[in-house]
Structure 1
């Protein structure tokens, strides 16, 4: 630094400038030298340092370094270099003007702080975008903790900038925050609760991106499109987006269909109400009709008091268990529920072998339509209430 000042003084003497013009020329020359040095360092960083780092990362087998040290991160770092040079040269340039030097030093420090925060946040964003497709939980952790780190970095930067403006030691301001922590927690109560809920949501692996969830309280029914510490975006099946707070998911309840989609089948649970007046002991005419259509076995007809509904339930279980659309290895039953004024409910409980939504709906409809069509064959009637005329 002293060498530069002496060099400038020598140039002034060589030019023959004397008198009151010397200080003015000296400061102009020193400013020009400082600006040129700062520009040169920034230019070297952008056109020498960045290509060099790219070449180094390109020759490594790992892919994470290419993603982390991208152009955005490196250019943010290069913007700090000229400011550091200016900060280093300010005491020399304005050594005769302490007030101007102090103001420019503070402004430069603020600029360096802001650019450093931009560089760190860009670096954390690159970390968040790392390819962790093989582990969705790892991606969730990266998203969560990088989000927390961004908030911490920005908070520290605000304190440092405030300390620079007030000409205070940052540690003094940090110590003073202890007295106002209760007020801050009250003001940012919802934000803090949301952050904690977001961390709980990801750390306990309650939810992952791409999963199908239903949140009745928020009217959300679709796949998770995006997850952050403060919001969960759900793309509904009508392509609308519902934004849900993590606090709502943690404190309330939501339905996650992940295990169903990954399972061996999707459940069907349907009820059919039968008219009590159609439930009767099977007579010989009905038995003969059922024999001709191969709907019963002789073993079932040995009981003289066998009820048509009993034969119906037995055939339905047999038909469902033999259907290729039904997973017979999972729970399958046709059971009777508590009687109601609307008839006797019979519940069909079984699992379709596919979990693909459209295939499931088609298979379910085919089976239930077959069941509806077979009801009259057993002399039964479905209870239905006719609309008022």
Structure 2
């Protein structure tokens, strides 16, 4: 046996005392076992990894690739190496019963944490594989891996205390029951995060890559990670906001996913019209508006209906306010309706209109409510700007004015006049 080989050598050939020979034999055996363990570990790892890489290259599934990337084989090789060392401890430390007891405990601890690390690599592999499946691409898988690892580490530490102290495991489990209130306090945020992750998944409120807005946290961007403690949002200004996971079920936020999945992105913007620029239309005005192609048919029909009504009721039109009349503001709103109806970037299947809002001290808001086909931010902003460029340029053709606060130039011109 290797445990006595050096003992005989030191005692018989070098005439060293028995006690000193036993100690030298132990040191020599430890060195040899360490060298053998290292060689065994390297060989097992090298040939095993080489074999797996060869096997991976021949398969069509990605699962084995993830096994390799998460170092599953490396972690399992450590377990076999320490099991090999454990089997050699008894003959190696036969002359040191106390040291043998501590050695068994030490290697048992290493094996325990190696198994935990191995399970972790398996969980990460499963998570990476599920992430390739369409049904799981946007699910918070990290949260489930983390909660499982927390439970596993708690169990591991309980078992490790049992190994170190040599006390039965049931004693620590009993103590854990009494300590549960403290554990609940310590892991309060983790438990809340886990509950939130489940509710988020079940209710499908947030997915990875969703665009969300939370004013309280100044978050406005895409979700890049969902875990037990926090939700990471990559804001559009390239900053990152970390939000407590539980806040996604305890507080309000805006998720833009429904908009992204719909037929268009809403345009809801208004311009302010000076109230004193609104007036009734004369016959001359009517003839001018007939020349606008989008209004020709409407102006003709509407004007004939107004005239027929006034004639039927003997309305005195020597004063323009009498009877029914058309206005330049109403004509402009009709023009905008027709303009939106034929605009290629507006989704015609969704609601669109121009509408007059409550008058304000700054004028009368004229709002455009429609849905743009382009939903990406840059294209949407460009299309909306084009629409309002046209609106602002068209206003003067209807003898309307945009309300603006006076500038320095306006005051100078007023003074000069």
Same fold (TM over 0.5): yes
The separation in 1 between residues aligned to 2:394 and 2:138, in whole angstroms, is 52
The answer to whether structure 1 residue 112 and structure 2 residue 111 are counterparts is yes
Partner secondary structure for residue 271 of structure 2: strand
The answer to whether structure 1 residue 307 and structure 2 residue 309 are counterparts is no
Partner secondary structure for residue 400 of structure 2: coil
The separation in 1 between residues aligned to 2:273 and 2:39, in whole angstroms, is 89
Residue 350 of structure 1: CA displacement? 0.8
**Which residue of the other structure, out of 389, 393, 396, is the alignment partner of 1:373?**
393
- 8 Å CA contact retained: 2:140, 2:208: no
What per-residue deviation string (whole Å, max 9, x for no partner) do you get for residues 218-254 of structure 1?
A: 1111122223222222111221111222122221122
Residue 134 of structure 1: CA displacement? 4.5
Give the structure 2 partner of residue 103 of structure 1: 102
TM-score, with structure 2 as normaliser: 0.82
Structure 2 unaligned segments of length 5 or more: list them: 308-324, 412-417
Residue 208 of structure 1: CA displacement? 2.0
- 1:172-251 alignment runs, 5 A limit: 172-251=171-250
What per-residue deviation string (whole Å, max 9, x for no partner) do you get for residues 16-73 of structure 1?
A: 9797266446545654564455345324422333333443444333221221244722
1:61/1:7 CA distance change after superposition, 3 Å: farther
**Which residue of the other structure, out of 357, 375, 394, is the alignment partner of 1:355?**
375
The separation in 1 between residues aligned to 2:209 and 2:135, in whole angstroms, is 10
Residue 190 of structure 1: CA displacement? 2.1
The answer to whether structure 1 residue 275 and structure 2 residue 274 are counterparts is yes
The separation in 2 between residues aligned to 1:349 and 1:267, in whole angstroms, is 7
The separation in 2 between residues aligned to 1:240 and 1:29, in whole angstroms, is 59
1:246/1:93 CA distance change after superposition, 3 Å: same
1:150/1:369 CA distance change after superposition, 3 Å: same
What per-residue deviation string (whole Å, max 9, x for no partner) do you get for residues 254-297 of structure 1?
A: 22222222322211111233333233321223212212344443
Residue 301 of structure 1: CA displacement? 1.5
Give the structure 2 partner of residue 59 of structure 1: 58
Partner secondary structure for residue 82 of structure 1: helix
- 8 Å CA contact retained: 1:137, 1:202: no
What per-residue deviation string (whole Å, max 9, x for no partner) do you get for residues 195-218 of structure 1?
A: 322332234322222222212111
- 8 Å CA contact retained: 1:282, 1:307: yes
Residue 320 of structure 1: CA displacement? 0.8
- 1:148-187 alignment runs, 5 A limit: 148-187=147-186
- 8 Å CA contact retained: 1:266, 1:351: yes
The separation in 2 between residues aligned to 1:7 and 1:259, in whole angstroms, is 76
1:39/1:325 CA distance change after superposition, 3 Å: closer
**Which residue of the other structure, out of 354, 363, 371, is the alignment partner of 1:334?**
354
- 8 Å CA contact retained: 1:199, 1:229: no
1:378/1:154 CA distance change after superposition, 3 Å: same
TM-score, with structure 1 as normaliser: 0.88
1:96/1:336 CA distance change after superposition, 3 Å: same
1:144/1:7 CA distance change after superposition, 3 Å: same
The answer to whether structure 1 residue 386 and structure 2 residue 385 are counterparts is no
The separation in 2 between residues aligned to 1:4 and 1:139, in whole angstroms, is 57
Give the structure 2 partner of residue 259 of structure 1: 258
- 8 Å CA contact retained: 2:140, 2:226: no
- 8 Å CA contact retained: 2:210, 2:256: yes
Partner secondary structure for residue 129 of structure 1: helix
- 8 Å CA contact retained: 1:286, 1:379: no
Partner secondary structure for residue 246 of structure 2: helix
Between 1:250-259 and 1:123-132, the stretch displaced more is 123-132
